């Protein structure tokens, strides 16, 4: 009888150990799958944001190009401004996903891009307004300021990309 009890206890302990190992393995696999899912969503959010920024920046470049002549075609300028505004909305939508997906360092990086972008857009809007008014007094100054702010925006986007790489490196 002692041998039977010992065998039964051994089987019970073995079963519990197997169950415990399966539980730990299952949790680890579940966590790994969740981490992969989160990385994929973050990657998609960051790539969408960068793509929206790129498209919007091309539209802004088209506005600056249309404003270059001493007497710009205002209809063409307005058409390009309309495209820019639509693409800027896409950037804002994509930024919201970045904020939700996180982490906080990415929200900070996206905020820096947003501020730099807003400062450049401010110059562009003023140049469009001046073109409508036929006022070329600030054109040279604003063109130089726009170039400076484009460089600042480019640097902010580079910092965003770098922060994204850091997020993914830490997740490995």
| pLDDT by residue, tens only, the chain of 172 residues | 577 776 666 666 666 666 666 656 666 665 677 677 788 888 999 999 999 999 999 999 999 999 999 899 999 999 999 999 999 999 999 999 999 988 999 999 999 999 999 999 999 999 999 999 999 999 999 999 999 999 999 999 999 999 999 988 886 6
Evaluate whether residue 1 is within a structural domain: no
Spatial CB neighbours of 39, under 8 Å, sequence gap ≥ 6: 168, 171
| Torsion sign (Cα): 163, 165, 170, 171 | positive
Evaluate whether residue 2 is within a structural domain: no
CB neighbour burial string for 57-86, b if at least 16 within 10 angstroms, e if fewer: bebbebbbebbeeeebeeeebeebbebbee
Alpha carbons within 13 angstroms on the beta-carbon side of residue 155 total 9
Note whether 128 and 81 are within 8 A (CB). yes
CATH (domain of 72): 1.20.1420
Evaluate whether residue 16 is within a structural domain: no
Domain that holds residue 167: 39-171
Evaluate whether residue 115 is within a structural domain: yes
Evaluate whether residue 144 is within a structural domain: yes
Evaluate whether residue 24 is within a structural domain: no
Residue 120 CA to residue 146 CA, distance in Å, equals 6
pTM: 0.80
Evaluate whether residue 71 is within a structural domain: yes
Evaluate whether residue 46 is within a structural domain: yes
Query: How many domains are there within the chain?
Result: 1
SS3 71: coil
């Amino acid at each position: 009888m002692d041998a039977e009890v010992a065998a039964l206890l051994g089987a019970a302990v073995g079963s519990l150990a197997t169950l415990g190992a399966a539980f730990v393995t299952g949790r680890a696999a579940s966590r790994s799958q969740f981490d992969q899912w989160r990385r994929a969503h973050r990657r998609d959010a960051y790539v969408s944001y960068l793509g929206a920024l790129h498209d919007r920046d091309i539209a802004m470049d088209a506005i600056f190009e249309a404003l270059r002549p001493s007497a710009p075609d205002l209809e063409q300028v307005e058409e390009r401004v309309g495209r820019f505004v639509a693409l800027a909305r896409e950037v804002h939508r994509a930024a919201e996903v970045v904020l939700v997906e996180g982490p906080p360092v990415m929200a900070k990086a996206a905020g820096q891009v947003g501020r730099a972008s807003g400062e450049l857009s401010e110059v562009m809007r003023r140049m469009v307004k001046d073109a409508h008014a036929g006022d070329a007094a600030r054109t040279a100054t604003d063109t130089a300021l726009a170039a400076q702010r484009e460089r600042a925006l480019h640097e902010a986007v580079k910092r965003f990309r770098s922060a994204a790489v850091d997020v993914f490196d830490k997740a490995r």
